[in-house]
Amino acid sequence: MAPNRSNDKTALIVHPDMTVLSSLQSAFVKGEITAIVARDLPTALLAITQHFFDIVVISSRISEEGDGWTLGGVIRLVFPKAFVLTIAPGTDLLALKNAINHGVDEVVEGTASPEQIVSTTLRSPAIAGKRSTTPKERVQ
């Protein structure tokens, strides 16, 4: 892989399904965003120690139900300015509560297309450079 230029964006995609990973990776590459993929928690944690991420897309279920939410919380602590998006089976009240409690920026349904997910990330204030630097400033 060629080294990133300073203005390049890098995304981490964590999902247990290889088909979804491949589709999301292709969609991010089309959007000129470098994509690092992981199918499990150990690989995701390794990637966190080796790269800086601007965008993180996580399945709410990696190995067990709900473990993606916890990984989202870790990502928020390690990369406070990153845009964190979680793919969940639904966007019900429980999913929204988990997103808030773990510092996730956006929740999309598992039926969303890779193009919709990439479009959502590219429209985010974090990627557009408008994200506030502290959680207190982000609360509206």
Confidence of residue 73 (pLDDT cuts 50, 70, 90): very high
Residue 1: inside a domain:
no
Distance CA 62, CA 100 (A): 19
Total number of domains in the chain: 1
Domain residues for 38?
Answer: 9-112
pLDDT above 60: residue 112: yes
Residue 4: inside a domain:
no
Residue 128: inside a domain:
no
pLDDT attached to residue 91: 86
pLDDT attached to residue 128: 64
pLDDT attached to residue 137: 46
On average, the pLDDT of the chain sits at: 86
pLDDT attached to residue 7: 59
Residue 17: inside a domain:
yes
Residue 107: inside a domain:
yes
The CATH code of the domain that includes 22 is: 3.40.50.2300
Phi, psi of 70 (to 5 degrees): -65, -40
Residue 44: inside a domain:
yes
Residue 125: inside a domain:
no
Residue 2: inside a domain:
no
SS (H, E, C) the chain: CCCCCCCCEEEEEECCCHHHHHHHHHHHHHCCEEEEEECCHHHHHHHHHHCCCCEEEEECECCCECHHHHHHHHHHHHCCCCEEEEEECCCCHHHHHHHHHHCCCEEEECCCCHHHHHHHHHHCHHHHCCCCCCHHHHCC
Confidence of residue 125 (pLDDT cuts 50, 70, 90): confident
- Report which residue type is found at 30: K
